[in-house]
């Protein structure tokens, strides 16, 4: 039964997201996150891909637990995998902070008055393929903040579920969390964070 108490089928599908992506652009960038133009979002995530600008945000509670969000089943790439709190792509003219605030509110109903220390803590390039569905080739900014109010209201079309976990324990004991199937960009960001490699100035080195 759905959260609303209705047995009606969910209308959003993977085909819906593919169509949405085909109508959108991402910001193509070089290895240093400098804009090179715009690329169709679907083209950027298929074939050989197009390197583009992205972000992932990791929110913590006041005890240092991390808020993980499951990507909805309708997602074409890494569907049902567990991610940091939100991840997406800034549109042209939008900063990573602006895009993060927007996505936090759209996906989880978390507003800016629930945190006050949102900062870019890292930036790295990576390229990963997902089955035969496509790929991510991104220069990904990592943002972190601490929630003073942990209430949220997730959009099920975007977020399949939410859980709180011990951030250090996920890093130190990955086998304990393998059933979550973590998204690769979150795993890279977490490793860089704990191993002292995080740097908000991109160095052009691919992970």
Residues taking part in catalysis: 138
CB 143 within 8 A of CB 115: no
Binding positions are: 45, 52, 89, 107, 136, 138
Between CA 116 and CA 118 the distance in angstroms is 6
- CA dist 80 and 71 (Å) reads 5
| Tokens matching residue 158 | 């975007």
Which residues are annotated as part of the binding site for Mn(2+)? 45, 52, 89, 136, 138
Instruction: Report d(CA 122, CA 84) in Å as an integer.
Output: 14
In three-state secondary structure terms, 142 is: strand
- Residues forming the annotated binding site for Mg(2+)? 107
Rounded Cα gap, residues 103 and 132, in angstroms: 27
Q: Is 119 exposed, middle or buried (0-12, 13-18, 19+ CB in 10 A)?
A: exposed
67 is written with which tokens?
Answer: 């808020």
Q: Which residues of 15-54 are buried (b: 16+ CB within 10 A; e: fewer)?
A: eebbeebeeebbbbbeeebeeeebbbbbbbbbeebbbbbb
């Amino acid at each position: 039964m759905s959260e609303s108490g209705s047995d009606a089928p969910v209308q959003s599908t993977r085909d819906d997201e593919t169509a949405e992506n085909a109508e959108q652009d991402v910001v193509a960038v070089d290895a240093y996150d400098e804009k090179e133009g715009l690329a169709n979002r679907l083209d950027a995530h298929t074939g050989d891909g197009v390197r583009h600008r992205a972000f992932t945000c990791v929110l913590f509670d006041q005890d240092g637990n991390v808020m993980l969000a499951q990507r909805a089943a309708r997602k074409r790439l890494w569907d049902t995998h567990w991610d940091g709190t939100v991840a997406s792509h800034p549109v042209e003219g939008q900063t990573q902070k602006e895009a993060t605030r927007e996505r936090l509110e759209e996906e989880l109903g978390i507003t800016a008055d629930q945190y006050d220390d949102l900062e870019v803590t890292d930036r790295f390039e990576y390229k990963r393929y997902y089955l035969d569905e496509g790929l991510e080739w991104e220069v990904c900014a990592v943002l972190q903040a601490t929630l003073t109010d942990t209430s949220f209201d997730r959009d099920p079309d975007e977020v399949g579920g939410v859980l709180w976990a011990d951030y250090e324990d996920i890093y130190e004991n990955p086998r304990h969390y393998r059933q979550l199937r973590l998204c690769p960009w979150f795993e890279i960001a977490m490793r860089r964070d704990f191993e002292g490699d995080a740097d908000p100035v991109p160095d052009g080195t691919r992970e």
